[in-house]
Structure 1
Amino acid sequence: MQLPEKAIESRYDYNKIIPWFRKKASKFIGKEYVISESEKGIIFALIAWMLKDDLVAKEMNFDLNKGILLSGPIGCGKTTLFKILRYCNFPAAKYGIVSTRHIVSEFMREGYEILEKYSNGIPYNNQQKPRYLCFDDLGTETSSKYFGNDCNVMAEILLTRYDLFKEKDLITHLTTNLSAGEIESQYGNRLRSRMREMFNLFGYEESSDDKRK
């Protein structure tokens, strides 16, 4: 996602917000947080989404009623970025972050009730409503067996959350290293089709630097 060539009308002053964000991010990670040229558009759009800035959303062509699917190569900083946004306490950054591997591990131990737990959500701040969740590293989990029954755990969870997205405006976020074709291969065309309705796609370039180095 690229920054627009012309200035965007907004009720927020991003010339102040971006430096503040970098300062908070640097504090969170314990070193200077560097924003590369290739990710400026992604970070700008993500902050606008977390602020629910409808003017920027319209200009940059993303939907505030959809969640975010953040894709990119290993180590480009997808998970850290979602953690920083939550740390900054933006108005719409009220979500839990859980790795898909952790969910599958829970499923292997506890069975099908785990599908219900993450499909319908966990109450957030004692509010009895489905919790917004960011599922981290979609694709790193594997199809699991529980007492011999094959179950594509994340596919089942996401299909149920799609229904809740349609019925109750439930927001889900994802990070993944997978391409669109790999998502379809691993989770099926039925889910991929629904994901187009559920998510704005924000993607890092394949050449993005590994920030773990």
Structure 2
Amino acid sequence: MENPSKIVENGVVYSLGDFDGTTVHYDFYQILHYLEMKGKLLFGERFKIYKKDRPLIRKLCAFMIRDYNACKRYGLDCRKGILLTGPVGCGKTSLMKLVRYIVPGKLTYEMIPTRNVIFSFNHLGFKTVQEYGDSGSYCFDDLGLEPLGRFYGDNANVMGEVLLSRYELHQKSDHRLKTHATTNLSATELEDRYGQRVRSRMRALFNLMAFDSNSPDKRH
């Protein structure tokens, strides 16, 4: 039997905890060590995990590995997805790309820039809303910063429609199909962007996690 507590990268074995034959007992500091190494592979040698971000990362890791006891302590509903907010450059996108790798097997969701959804809509119309709204697990990156869609002369708030479809999927599914998102916008700004109805559905779709509003731009 493969040991799901071990991950091999470039021939090096990284441990995420201990496996007793049925359950992985994760160790957060071993996960951090792996995430920092994986981050350097994905984003370059300058990547680092900042100490002040660890409480947020701990919550996010607990959610990803389905540590139900920890999620309960943190007030996280495992049936929902994650809405990760924070200022520009704080590391939202990198973190959501990165934490997917601590779960053994294939990646649990696909990262989709919201602007790509709009580009697709502009070519294919409402088929795009159906594609992203009715199946799959996604993390929609930079929610609220995308332009309006336009198809045959008609403007459409495409991501608003996708979120409404994701809500319907959430209501009828077994919750294995997750909806995640990253955004720089506040709750009020999201409501201004998508309307009160979509904002209400977002409360049912997402657990809110937030970087500190004073988090520095880590891109420099």
Normalization by structure 1: what TM-score?
A: 0.85
2:65–2:103 contact (8 Å) kept in structure 1: no
**3-state SS, counterpart of residue 207 of structure 2:** strand
Aligned to 1:78: 92
1:24–1:88 contact (8 Å) kept in structure 2: no
Q: Percent identical across equivalent pairs?
A: 40
Q: Structure 2: how far apart are the matches of 1:79 and 1:15?
A: 22
1:134–1:174 contact (8 Å) kept in structure 2: yes
Per-residue CA deviation, residues 15-70 of structure 1 (Å, 9 max, x unaligned), is 32222222222222221533224311111111111101111101111111110000
**3-state SS, counterpart of residue 26 of structure 2:** coil
Aligned to 2:195: 188
Aligned to 1:145: 150
Unmatched 5+ residue regions in structure 2? 1-23
Of structures 1 and 2, the one scoring higher in RCO (CA 8 A, sep 6+) is 1
Aligned to 1:212: 219
RMSD of equivalent CA atoms: 1.8
Unmatched 5+ residue regions in structure 1? 1-9, 121-129
Aligned to 2:141: 136
1:108 matches 2:122: yes
2:65–2:102 contact (8 Å) kept in structure 1: no
What amino acid maps onto 2:94 in structure 1? T
Aligned to 1:39: 53
Aligned to 2:69: 55
Per-residue CA deviation, residues 80-123 of structure 1 (Å, 9 max, x unaligned), is 11111224445695111111111101111221211111111xxx
What amino acid maps onto 1:172 in structure 2? T
Aligned to 2:172: 167
Q: Structure 1: how far apart are the matches of 2:51 and 2:172?
A: 39
Aligned to 1:199: 206
Equivalent pairs, count: 195
Aligned to 2:108: 94
Q: Structure 1: how far apart are the matches of 2:103 and 2:204?
A: 26
